[in-house]
Structure 1
Amino acid sequence: DLHMDKNGWTDTGYHFLVSRGGWITEGRHQSLSTLRGGRDFVMGAHTSGQNGAGIGIANEGAYHDGAQPPRAQWEVLVALCAYTCGQYGIAPSRIYGHKDFGDTLCPGVLHDKLPQLRSEVAASMG
């Protein structure tokens, strides 16, 4: 709503969105085809100061009250991050959350799970 309805953009500022049911949706137009190419990426509008240097992945749900992401969502997030890291040569240790770059609650408890995410992404990459 914020990106499209309030800002009037034609799409979201995030490159990808991961649903609670485990579905990946392309956010920024052409993010998927560009990711598959592995050599360039679409300019995002997800994190001030990082839009030209990082891939933005949003997760459906509010995780500010201790709620945990559903298993399907977590598994797809790991797979998407592993694929993205592999395509762009990004070390899993370089996976960050919104909170690392600004004063925000986002990504809630997912920020506490970043060490686990990094570890699972690295293991998935072999």
Structure 2
Amino acid sequence: MTPSERNFRLTRRGVLGLGGGLMLGALAGTEAYAAPRVHTRAEWSARPPRSATQVIAKPDHIVIHHTASSNVTDYSLAAAYRVSHWIQDLHMDRNGWIDAGQQLTISRGGYLLEGRSKSLSSINNRQNVLGAQTANHNSHTIGIEHEGIYVTASVPTALFEKSVLTCAWLCQQYGLDPHAAIVGHRDYNATQCPGDVFYARLPELRDRVATALNA
């Protein structure tokens, strides 16, 4: 990780296959849900990292972010791929990092995408990769970018539902208690991220994830 990644000098923003066949129960009602589909770096044609990605031990916290980008109304998979390219270009070309800083990204249309190189394989092996998404806390956290800005705007249903599934999958993979493990970026750093509206829904997110894991 470069010094700029460690220091997180620039303001953030302005800015997985199936998880082992895991079945997550009843996010609403009694229907069971499979672990979320993750669109890989190969699928969205990510640039290669500038240097080797460091695989580390499993995280103890899941950090919720927003990208603070426009709240687009194009909810397509193509739009999800575009936002992944935008994030990676911002982090590599402007911030000078080796790759996208976050491990996972969820688009406003509810698509889940792999971020930093080797993130998906590491999660499936109950490990993590050293990211650059939460200053001074990258060694023990995994970060999920949520496309959009949620200071005053509502969180799209598709995005929030995929966040529930994704956090439940991560909590199962890493043996985490969602009520203790799921935090907002602002809990660690001086930032508005993930926005007042999204941050106010973190208790709901934790409860929904706990319900999924207990079903």
Q: Which has the higher helix share?
A: 1
Moved segments of 4+, more than 6 Å: none
The match for 2:199 is 111
Deviation, 1:88, is 0.5
The match for 2:177 is 91
The match for 1:75 is 161
The match for 2:84 is none
5 Å-filtered alignment, 1:29-44, equals: 29-38=117-126, 40-44=127-131
The answer to whether residue 116 in structure 2 is matched with residue 28 in structure 1 is yes
Residue identity in the other structure for 1:99: R
| Other structure's SS at 1:77 match | helix
For structure 1, which segment, 49-58 or 8-17, has the greater mean C-alpha deviation from structure 2 after superposition? 8-17
Scaled by the length of structure 2, the TM-score of the pair is 0.56
CA-to-partner distance for each residue in 1:19-55, whole Å, 9 max, x for gaps?
A: 00010111110101110111x1101110012101011
The match for 1:5 is 93
Larger relative contact order (C-alpha < 8 A, sep ≥ 6)? 2
Deviation, 1:2, is 3.1
Residues paired across the two proteins, number: 124
* Larger CA Rg, structure 1 vs 2: 2
The match for 1:50 is 137
| Other structure's SS at 1:96 match | strand
| Other structure's SS at 1:25 match | strand
The match for 1:62 is 149
| Other structure's SS at 1:57 match | strand
Consecutive unaligned residues in structure 1, runs of 5 or more: none
| Other structure's SS at 2:170 match | helix
Distance in 1 between the 2:209 and 2:185 partners?
A: 18
Deviation, 1:10, is 4.5
Deviation, 1:111, is 0.9
Residue identity in the other structure for 2:175: G
Scaled by the length of structure 1, the TM-score of the pair is 0.93
